[in-house]
């Protein structure tokens, strides 16, 4: 037995890894930028930052994963969308600072490498990068038979972006009276899936089942990718309209995430009646026996991104975002109080 055969027998296939890397390079070609120096295949990739466009550059980074939504993808055999989720979770996070995502790296851990499966996953990553306008410059595929369960995988990534220091949005300029605009989510996105899967199992719902009001089958509804808000929000910031704070609605929902963009002494007064609750969330709330307010700390409940803008700019900002394809809702306003969400109307 050769050394390579011995390693393969232990659970790691070097040839499969090399084949996967070649396939990654092909799909990554769909998500490139002219500033990239080098690329997939080397030990590292470079990025030639345009310092004329960004004379006071602040690099902004974010790392995240997809979580147990991956179990839904595995159970249904549909792996082409979770890569978009992975990118979205990272680029939407750094977007809250006003940063433009520049490049992305992914990390895929498997028990045993299936090259075709890995290619499908990374193709989704490349698709997400293309939507966000950033380059996929590399990553890592780790074959870990002693750490990962057979047939399963984990997917995470890192995004790096840039913003001029004088244009950075950090929430420090938020004032009482600022209007809160919410951008609609595309469904459950990538949080709360441990509870979602528990509720489905308890009711023995098949992935191909149809639930009244849901857009398609259970699998189609739950695998809809996390929406990427980069291009519309960056266009809004470039317009010069005063955006003072932003929040990506992920784990912890509206309750935990909106206050993260507020200074001390200010609260977010949100009217739950300001937007329609998507049927999937109504079903999940009822199945879990959660109040609306409790569910707002688990899921996004239909709002994936929140912006604070000056009152005089709210109408123009909403119109610009709507023209860019977003569904925009006036959620409420910033008010004096402890840094938290307060509900304007009972629901």
User: Is the fold of 3-167 the same as that of 179-343?
Assistant: no
Q: Is the pLDDT of residue 135 over 80?
A: yes
State phi, psi for 275 to the nearest 5 degrees: -145, 155
- pLDDT average, residue stretch 124-139: 96
pLDDT confidence bin for 9, thresholds 50/70/90: low
User: What pLDDT shows up at residue 238?
Assistant: 96
Q: What is the pLDDT of residues 287-340, one digit of tens each?
A: 999 999 999 999 999 999 999 999 999 999 999 999 999 999 999 999 999 999
Q: What integer pLDDT is reported at residue 341 of this predicted model?
A: 97
pTM check: above 0.85? yes
Tokens 């980069």 -> residue? 230
Is it true that domain 179-343 has CATH number 3.40.50.2000? no
Helix axes 69-76, 82-95, angle to 10 degrees: 160
Mean pLDDT of 63-79: 96
Please check whether residue 88 is in contact with residue 227, taking contact to mean a CB–CB distance below 8 angstroms.
yes
Compute CA distances 281 → 28, 42, 213, 224, 273, whole Å. Answer: 35, 44, 11, 14, 14
DSSP E strand boundaries for 50-92: 57-65
* All structural domains of the chain with their residue ranges: 3-167, 179-343
Q: Cβ distance 227 to 87 under 8 Å?
A: no
pLDDT recorded at residue 182:
98
Alpha helices in 134-276 (DSSP H): 193-202, 218-222, 230-238, 253-257
Mean pLDDT value across residues 236-256: 97
Q: What are phi and psi of 122, to 5 degrees?
A: -70, -30
What angle in degrees, to the nearest 10, is found between the helix axes of 115-132 and 230-238? 20
Query: DSSP per residue over 297-324, as a string?
Result: TTS-TTEEEEEEE-GGGHHHHHHHHHHT
More confident residue, 3 or 152: 152
The per-residue pLDDT for range 24-53, each reduced to its tens digit, is: 677 767 778 989 998 777 788 899 999 999
| Confidence check: pLDDT of 16 > 80 | no
CATH class of 3-167: alpha beta
95 within 8 A of 126, measured Cβ to Cβ: no
């Amino acid at each position: 037995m050769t050394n390579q055969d011995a390693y393969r027998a232990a659970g790691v296939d070097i040839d499969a890894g090399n084949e996967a890397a070649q396939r990654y390079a092909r799909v990554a070609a769909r998500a490139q930028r002219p500033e990239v120096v080098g690329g997939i295949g080397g030990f590292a990739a470079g990025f030639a930052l345009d310092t004329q466009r960004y004379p006071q550059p602040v690099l902004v980074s974010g790392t995240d994963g997809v979580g147990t939504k991956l179990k839904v993808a595995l159970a249904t055999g549909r792996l082409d969308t979770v890569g978009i989720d992975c990118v979205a979770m990272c680029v939407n996070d750094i977007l809250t600072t006003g940063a433009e995502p520049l490049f992305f790296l992914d990390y895929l851990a498997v028990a045993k490498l299936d090259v075709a499966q890995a290619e499908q996953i990374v193709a989704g990553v490349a698709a997400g990068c293309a939507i966000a306008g950033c380059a996929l410059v590399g990553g890592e595929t780790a074959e870990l038979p002693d750490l990962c369960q057979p047939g399963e995988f984990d997917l995470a990534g890192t995004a790096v972006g840039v913003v001029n220091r004088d244009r950075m949005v950090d929430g420090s300029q938020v004032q009482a009276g600022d209007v809160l605009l919410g951008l609609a989510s595309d469904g459950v996105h990538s949080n709360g899936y441990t509870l979602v899967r528990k509720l489905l199992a308890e009711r023995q719902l098949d992935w191909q089942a149809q639930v009244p009001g849901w857009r398609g089958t259970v699998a189609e509804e739950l695998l809809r990718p996390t929406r990427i808000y980069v291009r519309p929000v960056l266009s809004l910031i470039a317009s010069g309209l005063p955006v003072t704070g932003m929040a990506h609605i992920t784990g912890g929902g509206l309750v935990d995430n909106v206050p993260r963009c507020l200074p001390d002494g200010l609260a977010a007064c949100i009217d739950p009646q300001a937007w329609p609750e998507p049927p999937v969330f109504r079903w999940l709330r009822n199945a879990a026996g959660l109040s609306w307010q409790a569910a707002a700390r688990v899921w996004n409940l239909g709002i994936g991104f929140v912006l604070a803008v000056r009152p005089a700019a709210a109408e123009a900002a909403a119109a610009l975002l709507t023209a860019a394809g977003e569904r925009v809702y006036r959620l409420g306003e910033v008010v004096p109080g402890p840094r938290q969400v307060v509900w304007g109307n009972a629901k």
